[in-house]
Amino acid sequence: MIADENGDNRLDIIDVIVLLYAVLKKKKRGVQKMHHFDAHYHLNPENYCQRGGRIWKENIYNGNEMWKTWGETWTRNLEANKTAIRRMPMLSSLYGSWSGHTALVVANGASTHRDMKKIAQAQSQGIHIVSVDRMHERLCDNGIFPDMTMTGDSSETVADFFTRPPRDRDKFAVRSRTHPKVIELLKHTNCYAYEAADPWSPWARVVRDAFGVKIFACQDGAVTTFNCTGFCYWMGCDIIGNIGNELSWKRGDPIDDVYKGLDFIMLDEELGVATIQPFFVAAIANALFPVMYPEVEWIDCGLGITSGWVKEPIEYLMQIHGEKREP
């Protein structure tokens, strides 16, 4: 349970809902019900009154507020990207091809850097690796070639994450509002286009007018790891882990320059655990995956602040993946 800077327990309702689902549901490991992202369904606000969506709308991700701040930048990027995006295959065309598989979403937190060898071991055992843009080259440098790397930020700084030509084996998913410099770097690779559906934001209408509904491939969230997680679900995985998604720092953890100078929220004075507001929002958003899709095993290998995911080290993810594959 996490308190915000005013001492309010913002995750209470999420914890209760996840607990209720855990008590009422029957485990169906290996069963995946949907591989098709129905954009029409996910762009209809009425459908989000079910399975936790109302909480997402009211408490977690306010697309209208994001639009007010970033709408001009997103639209400018989209206009510059139109020609390149229209030539790319849609990310949703891949969906279902990992049915019954296991995937690990790799973000840039301390646990990723600590467990790099274990991530390589997980991949050698057949676990799919899905990387956020910032970690792509670091993983490659350690002999880990992601099955997919996703970008989602509209900032030009994302281009700095790609300092050398991609390999032929690399696969990328680029969001339509990604900065044009990133699109230019990646457009001649195995590159897929996607957009995230937010039924309450004017942005969805802008995207639909430009590309139609076929480009929508996941729900919208606060950070790229949210999109990566949605991608793994729609690919058909029934065990999904994340690592490096602590969304917080412990005392002594290195902090990237981009986050220095921001206002930090202290979560635990004794342990020295702190976060920032965007990460706090992202932790709540990610907590909805177990609520909305209880048929999947959700494993937080970074042992972070996301509520509702089973908190176990990466060895546990490999263990249940191995058990699933046993005859």
pLDDT (tens digit per residue) in 13-60: 444 444 444 434 434 444 444 567 888 888 887 776 555 555 555 555
Residues of the chain with pLDDT under 70: 1-35, 48-64, 326-327
- Which phi and psi angles does 108 have, rounded to 5°? -100, 20
pLDDT at position 56: 59
How is residue 262 annotated by DSSP? S
pLDDT at position 15: 44
Task: Report residue 44 CA to chain centroid gap.
Answer: 21
Residue whose pair of structure tokens reads 């209720």 in the numeric block: 20
Q: Which residues make beta-bridge pairs with 193?
A: 90, 174
3-state SS, residue 115: coil
pLDDT at position 12: 45
Note the residue count of the chain. 327
Is the four-CA dihedral 134, 138, 139, 145 of positive or negative sign? positive
pLDDT in tens, 292-304: 889 999 999 998 8
